[in-house]
Structure 1
């Protein structure tokens, strides 16, 4: 007896979730199913999804929807693109709780992807070192993005630019023909705010159709565009695995840590725990989290709420919150600002006006951040010891807290900051960033900003009026820039190999730079940075050498040693910045100077804003006129060069003189005069060489010792002279003969007077003194030849 074979398929929550949602009567269930099916259909159509993932609730829902669609395709055996990816930006200054939670999620997502073999990649973006918050703010390059700032520099540099670079790098490995199929999956929602709704509308955002902004090739999809906060929490609180209370399968056990974080940083409750009468559209669990130093929205309410809600759990972040509060509260405290500008006006002045943070203030900020890093290490060690001794419960939370939850300043950051401070002569001495590091880690001298707890917000006041300091220019030979004497002293060593470059300065002087490496971007070698901070700096410090160096020494030292690499093709810019720092140092306006310090300095020309405007307007007009004049000169030079090429071409082809235009005749005459002088120079050279050889023959040198005969050289010159004369034409050939005759007559005149020192050639002088008869006969014979040739032109 034969039985038909029965195929048995094991099913789990990933096969049954749609039915589970229907049975559970989840309020957002139908919308979620529709969203997943739409993503699934686009996957079947060959689309590649890029999910911009922050780890927050909205992007978490989008990730959940995408995973459901991918798992559906996987279980059905559908052929879809293997290139979809999750893009996360780590700004390196995120709220530590948010950063830890997101990192934990991404780790579990990686494991889930591997175990289920789904076609999804994870791409982590980070700002470059030069774009980091530390380099921008602590390095003295700029200010934070404050409330009501039109352009959010930090958002662009820390997030957008970083994400774009990571995206470009990832898709460079995808066939270009598929780039058009990439769809950006975004978690923005209309109900977040009026501004967000307007932004989505501006970009034609849709939850059902793929749309793109005008003149943009990237398609977008907003799958939860119409969802409320309540819908988001409804989805997340019903999502998870390995629990009978979880209806929607997920890569996570549950989302309770996300719920807890939002609850603790919001108003203390979430929609998940609210009564039905509050409705879908209301939620008290919608706090926003961002960078811990962000002042774009004023005070960091979500961080402050965490500290107030559960100080025992979140108290380890109290110190770093002081940094944010200090920045926020002192926005209008002009004493915290640096007043020395870095741009020369048309009139040759720099502005003295509060701008970026003051050198002493950024040094305090750096000291505080390193101190909080150090204290976090000590806190983690204390928890680890308590775990080891059994003094606290050995659970997942305490295990996590037995490790440092943040380190915002690394050795690479220290080297990067020091490079800017050194280059711009920003601090009073070089190596100050390293010194601050060791004040904390070696001497345990901490800056905890305790005063911030009682600090009042500085009232808004107008920015003080600008003054202007006469500088003229700094990119000149008066300053050495990145020139390095150490390279000069080894330049002739047998094994010397240099990466030096030649830089032409604004005054056309030249700087031979120190040796350095070039890469695509400003970079610091990690191992080199650790060696410099922990070894070389300590050696210099203990030897008492730190006070021996100029401001730019540490920058050049890091370049020479290969610790620091500059962006390719930017050496002239960095050399100019080094010269600026040296100029400021020479003027004694470098380092932590106040306006009072600078005004007290003698021999500085400082004027008011009104006077400067008049001078600058005049200088600007002069410069504009000079640009116009230079342009005209350049245009005329192009015309002249073209004319000279045309005439040279006609001469080489033997074009008749009457075929030349008036302008070409002028150029022709100029070229012929130059050619006449060239022929005369060749004749004089031939005479000198002939005299040298004749002197040697007469003295018997050729017979007595090895001698390099000059005859071949003379014959070659004779041939070249003959060809040149042929190109000149009759008139200019006669000019050559006449000037040659005059030259020979001048030699005879010197000879007759006996003024042998007046000869411009030692060989002629020697022949005239040692063999006067031969000299005179040679000169008369040459004159006779010139006369004979000139006579031929008369017949």
Structure 2
């Protein structure tokens, strides 16, 4: 069956390519820029001709743009093709899209944003029908919220080859945008959009194998895994072809193409690659000679899948101009050190068994370690703002040259924790059984941004590899075994809502038969940015001391009841279960007067083994396959 499906899928791709996208050889109008006529035999012109043929067949183009060397080379070809098509009277809209995870290498992120800005200005000035987009992961799936808020561990090379992080932070947001653009393209021309990517056969043996397996081509679009049409525009290019194309942008007087990217940005890109390659990149601007390999990759600053070192980042940090990124690398190394450090883990599991027991084993990051992470991240943000202000002052007073590149550094190059993320972290923490006061995450924000405290990232070595302890089990019933649990309930909000929010039909909600505080629902877990900003920056500083005396349940209910945090439609039961579990252990600690460490000892002492737990599980009756006489 699987073989048949694969054959049918293969035939469908061949049919799509033959029927929809067989490239026709349309004579090209000569395009002259001043006295410069492009050489039609160059590898660049062949790529431009391929794109022109697609545009003439009414296909919109969508370039996935990272601002790296390969995607920038693709951008040169695409923009030139659109320019020529527009001169022929073809006004089909085309798209350039990039992605920002929020934790990218700051220098590369700054470069991407600057280049996208230059593109927008160029397209506006020349009237080219090209739109520029930037995608972001959802607030709920961002690294800061998942790791610092929920305690989800990053992926480590020893136990995970899959890059689910890349899927959540880049792939899914990019697919949502692509679906929207595909709809618009179909409405405009009635033809499918063609996505351009910058993969090359010569990048590596593994890349070559994967590309050939997908049937990628520089001449004919193929059907991608997600159903879109994909063209690997520079698939047959060498690394030298890429650098030579980018060098053209440095000499606008002699280049056959009008550049949409400034010379400063091209120089910046060369510098980034050199810095990330121990300064040994064989790139000599303006020299058409041999270009040594320079394939350093700059991804997320906190990526733990790169192993014990992030070689590109550490190479960049050898230079003083990149020193501002050192805390990011220190934080990444701290995460690496926690892989086998069970002291940074929470022991209480999340799913109740059919016997009414919760697993006890090292699980997500502990509440204490999450607090430490937020202290470090907020301190990094504050220090970066201070650095940027000092740079601005230095430029204005003449101590540093007044250049475009220096002015870029006069703005904060990263913000790791936004106010939206902070609000969602606080809501997650307020539901945690160890939270001892209301608005626990905001309390740390107040310490850093109002009181001026700074928290340095400690140097720590990686804990030795060990065997994870066998799972044990603690009885909780329906979170009512020894103490009650109110879950997301709030009697105070239920009483006051008719007066504070008279427009609401109900003063509370009901989830699985239990009353909860009122909450709003949207398509995904979300935060109202305006309301979050107003409360955190204007209201909370005036009530921070009083919040120290309020229970964490107050803030857990507040974020929902005031409509600042909205739950995803259909997921209220899930969050009620989370709240029930955490409130149960919070109440158990109060009932038995246990500190967090004492609670850990209590659950271990009163837990049972895997074997004992298995005996308590309901037995499924075994039926005979054949009746007995």
Select 1:65's aligned residue among 63, 71, 77. Answer: 77
Is 1:16 aligned to residue 1 of structure 2?
no
What is the CA-CA distance between 1:141 and the residue it aligns to?
4.6
Other structure's SS at 2:62 match: strand
What is the CA-CA distance between 1:174 and the residue it aligns to?
4.2
What is the CA-CA distance between 1:66 and the residue it aligns to?
0.6
Q: Looking at CA atoms only, which structure, 1 or 2, has the larger radius of gyration?
A: 1
Give the Cα–Cα distance (whole angstroms) in 1 for the partners of residues 484 and 189 of structure 2.
56
Unaligned segments of structure 1, at least 5 residues: 1-8, 23-28, 626-795
Give the Cα–Cα distance (whole angstroms) in 2 for the partners of residues 388 and 221 of structure 1.
47
Give the Cα–Cα distance (whole angstroms) in 2 for the partners of residues 600 and 141 of structure 1.
21
1:589–1:289: structure 2 CA closer, same or farther, 3 Å change rule? farther
1:177–1:470: structure 2 CA closer, same or farther, 3 Å change rule? farther
Aligned to 2:383: 375
Q: Is the 8 A contact 2:31 2:37 kept in 1?
A: no
Is 1:226 aligned to residue 226 of structure 2?
no
Give the Cα–Cα distance (whole angstroms) in 1 for the partners of residues 34 and 524 of structure 2.
45
Q: Is the 8 A contact 1:514 1:560 kept in 2?
A: yes
Give the Cα–Cα distance (whole angstroms) in 1 for the partners of residues 116 and 500 of structure 2.
54
What is the CA-CA distance between 1:350 and the residue it aligns to?
1.4
- Select between 100-109 and 181-190 the one with higher mean Cα deviation: 181-190
1:132–1:603: structure 2 CA closer, same or farther, 3 Å change rule? closer
1:333-344 map, 5 Å: 333-344=341-352
Give the Cα–Cα distance (whole angstroms) in 2 for the partners of residues 602 and 292 of structure 1.
37
Is 1:47 aligned to residue 56 of structure 2?
no
What is the CA-CA distance between 1:192 and the residue it aligns to?
2.0
**RMSD (Å), alpha carbons:** 3.1
Is 1:364 aligned to residue 363 of structure 2?
no
Deviations 1:737-780 (A, max 9, x none): xxxxxxxxxxxxxxxxxxxxxxxxxxxxxxxxxxxxxxxxxxxx
Q: Is the 8 A contact 1:35 1:223 kept in 2?
A: yes
Give the Cα–Cα distance (whole angstroms) in 1 for the partners of residues 435 and 278 of structure 2.
44
Aligned to 1:99: 109
Deviations 1:402-435 (A, max 9, x none): 2211111122111110111112435343311101
Number of matched pairs = 587
Aligned to 2:23: none
Q: Is the 8 A contact 2:439 2:547 kept in 1?
A: no
Deviations 1:282-313 (A, max 9, x none): 41x211001111112122111110111x12x1
Aligned to 1:515: 518
Aligned to 1:147: 157
1:533–1:599: structure 2 CA closer, same or farther, 3 Å change rule? closer
Aligned to 2:22: none
- Select between 292-301 and 268-277 the one with higher mean Cα deviation: 268-277
1:129–1:276: structure 2 CA closer, same or farther, 3 Å change rule? closer
1:487–1:443: structure 2 CA closer, same or farther, 3 Å change rule? closer
Give the Cα–Cα distance (whole angstroms) in 1 for the partners of residues 534 and 396 of structure 2.
33
Give the Cα–Cα distance (whole angstroms) in 2 for the partners of residues 494 and 90 of structure 1.
39
What is the CA-CA distance between 1:559 and the residue it aligns to?
1.5
Deviations 1:21-70 (A, max 9, x none): x7xxxxxx722211111111111111121111111111111111111111
TM-score between the two structures when normalised by the length of structure 1? 0.69
- Select between 460-469 and 172-181 the one with higher mean Cα deviation: 172-181
1:504–1:359: structure 2 CA closer, same or farther, 3 Å change rule? closer
Give the Cα–Cα distance (whole angstroms) in 2 for the partners of residues 569 and 440 of structure 1.
37
Is 1:287 aligned to residue 286 of structure 2?
no
Q: Is the 8 A contact 2:474 2:603 kept in 1?
A: no
Aligned to 1:422: 430
1:471–1:512: structure 2 CA closer, same or farther, 3 Å change rule? closer
1:599–1:251: structure 2 CA closer, same or farther, 3 Å change rule? closer
What is the CA-CA distance between 1:160 and the residue it aligns to?
0.8
What is the CA-CA distance between 1:12 and the residue it aligns to?
5.8
Give the Cα–Cα distance (whole angstroms) in 1 for the partners of residues 312 and 604 of structure 2.
52
Is 1:264 aligned to residue 275 of structure 2?
yes
Other structure's SS at 2:608 match: strand
Greater percentage in helix:
1
Is 1:474 aligned to residue 479 of structure 2?
yes
Give the Cα–Cα distance (whole angstroms) in 1 for the partners of residues 426 and 257 of structure 2.
51
What is the CA-CA distance between 1:492 and the residue it aligns to?
6.5
Select 2:306's aligned residue among 297, 301, 324. Answer: 297
TM-score between the two structures when normalised by the length of structure 2? 0.86
1:335–1:80: structure 2 CA closer, same or farther, 3 Å change rule? same
Is 1:489 aligned to residue 524 of structure 2?
no
Q: Is the 8 A contact 1:130 1:522 kept in 2?
A: yes
Q: Is the 8 A contact 1:425 1:552 kept in 2?
A: no
Aligned to 1:182: 193
Is 1:131 aligned to residue 141 of structure 2?
yes
Greater RCO structure (CA 8 Å; 6+ sep): 2
Deviations 1:594-648 (A, max 9, x none): 9963353289730123333443xx42637x99xxxxxxxxxxxxxxxxxxxxxxx
Aligned to 1:464: 469
